[in-house]
Amino acid sequence: MSEQVYEPKIIGFLCNWCSYAGADLAGVSRLEYPPSLKIIRVPCSGRVSPELVIRAFREGADGVMVLGCHIGDCHYATGNHRTARRMPVLRALLEFTGVEPERFLVKWVSSSEGELFAQTVQEFTERLREMPPLETYLTADV
């Protein structure tokens, strides 16, 4: 029997204009990245409410990433400024509730950064592989 590799489940909220296009570019440029990520397209990273991230963890995601445009590049002028302010607060809350903050990634990836996108997914997946699945905590008898 071959060795089992734990494949984490990642939900990624990608802004339509920068990061989603960046992911598209990664595909077009035939860059490889782990299939552990499932992308939810949102118009702007500012659309992502903290509740959505928490819900993703609750539904069984091992990691959640929110990718948006670089600050100053937001398609909607200042939508990602909100993300930049909101997400650190959420991170602190996650930590408080016992979800390691390493499971939550916020990063700026532009539409021209396909390589950065692939690399980000790769690194995030590897980071999560080091940790146990989140579900083991959630389903453990308390």
**Binding-site ranges for other proteins (CB under 8 A):** 1-2, 4, 7, 9, 11, 35-36, 38, 40, 42-44, 46-49, 51-52, 55-56, 59-61, 70, 72-79, 82-83, 86
Q: How far apart are CA 48 and CA 55, in angstroms?
A: 11
Least distance CB 4 / other proteins (angstroms): 6
Sign of CA dihedral 66, 123, 109, 24: negative
Q: Is the CB of 59 or the CB of 141 nearer to other proteins?
A: 59
Least distance CB 86 / other proteins (angstroms): 7
15 closest CA partner among 46, 52, 44? 44
At residue 110, φ and ψ (nearest 5 deg) are -85, 170
Least distance CB 138 / other proteins (angstroms): 13
Q: Is the CB of 19 or the CB of 36 nearer to other proteins?
A: 36
20 closest CA partner among 66, 57, 60, 55? 66
Q: Is the CB of 44 or the CB of 118 nearer to other proteins?
A: 44
